Chains A and B, each alone.
Chain A
Amino acid sequence: MRRAPSPLLALLPMLLVNGALLTCALASVFPLLWMLSVSLMPPGQASHLPPPLLPHGATLDNYRQLFALSGMGRSLFNSSLLAALCTLGSLCFNVSAGYAFAKLRFRGSQRLFAALLGALVIPGQVALIPLFLLLNALGLVDTYAGVLLPSLAGVFGIFLVRQYALSIPDELLEAARMDGANEFRIFFSVVLPALRPILVTLGLFSFLGSWNDFLWPLIVLERDELRTLPLALASLSREHVQDRELMMAGSVVTLLPALIVFLSLQRHYLAGLLAGSIKG
Chain B
Amino acid sequence: MNAARAGWIFVTPALLALSVFFLLPVLGGFVLSLTDFDLYTLADVHNLRFVGLRNYVRLLETPLFWRALANTVFFVVAGVPTSIAVSLATALLLHSRLARWSKVFRTALFAPVVTTLVAVAVIWMYLLHTRYGFVNYALGLLGVPRIDWLGDPHFAMPAIALFAVWKNFGYNMVIFLAALQAIPEDLYEAARIDGATPAQQLRFVTLPALAPTLLLVSLLTVAGYFQLFAEPYVMTQGGPLQSTTSVLYLMYEDGFQSWNLGSASAVAFVLFFLLFLLTRLQVALARRWSAA
Q: Are B98 and A126 in contact (CB under 8 A)?
A: no
7 contacting pairs across A/B (C-beta < 8 A): A17-B99, A21-B94, A28-B110, A96-B10, A100-B8, A109-B7, A130-B265
CB distance from A21 to the nearest CB of B (A): 5
B residues near A247, Cβ cutoff 8 Å:
122, 126
A101 to B86, CA, bound (A): 37
Q: A-facing mask of B1-33, CB < 8 A → 1, else 0?
A: 101111111110111011011111110110010
Q: Are A255 and B119 in contact (CB under 8 A)?
A: yes
Q: A82 at the A/B interface (Cβ < 8 Å)?
A: no
Chain B contact patch, size range: 35 or more
Q: A155 at the A/B interface (Cβ < 8 Å)?
A: yes
A34 to B23, CA, bound (A): 43
Q: A123 at the A/B interface (Cβ < 8 Å)?
A: yes
Q: Are A49 and B174 in contact (CB under 8 A)?
A: no
Q: A81 at the A/B interface (Cβ < 8 Å)?
A: no
Q: Are B10 and A104 in contact (CB under 8 A)?
A: yes
Chain A contact patch, size range: 35 or more
Q: B230 at the A/B interface (Cβ < 8 Å)?
A: yes
At the interface, is chain B mostly helix, strand, loop or mixed? Answer: helix
A residues near B99, Cβ cutoff 8 Å:
17-18, 21
Q: Are A48 and B13 in contact (CB under 8 A)?
A: no
Q: Which residue of A lies closest to B13 (CB)?
A: A93
Q: Are A134 and B122 in contact (CB under 8 A)?
A: no
Q: Are B25 and A131 in contact (CB under 8 A)?
A: yes
Given A233-B118, A277-B220, also A29-B255 (CB < 8 A): no
At the interface, is chain A mostly helix, strand, loop or mixed? Answer: helix
Q: Are A96 and B11 in contact (CB under 8 A)?
A: yes
The residues of B with any CB-CB pair to A shorter than 8 Å are 1, 3-11, 13-15, 17-18, 20-26, 28-29, 32, 37, 42, 86, 90, 93-94, 96, 98-102, 104-105, 107-112, 114-120, 122-127, 131-134, 137, 166, 170-171, 174-175, 178, 212, 215-217, 219-220, 223, 226-227, 229-230, 233-234, 248, 251-252, 255-256, 261, 264-265, 268-269, 271-272, 275-276, 279
B residues near A131, Cβ cutoff 8 Å:
21, 25
Q: Are B126 and A46 in contact (CB under 8 A)?
A: yes
Q: Are A158 and B14 in contact (CB under 8 A)?
A: yes
Q: Are B108 and A28 in contact (CB under 8 A)?
A: yes
New contact pairs (10) apart from A28-B109, A233-B118, CB-CB < 8 Å = A14-B98, A18-B98, A25-B104, A47-B131, A105-B3, A129-B261, A129-B268, A153-B21, A234-B118, A274-B174
Given A100-B11, A251-B122, also A31-B108 (CB < 8 A): no
Q: Are B115 and A97 in contact (CB under 8 A)?
A: no
A234 to B94, CA, bound (A): 35
Q: Which residue of A lies closest to B18 (CB)?
A: A153
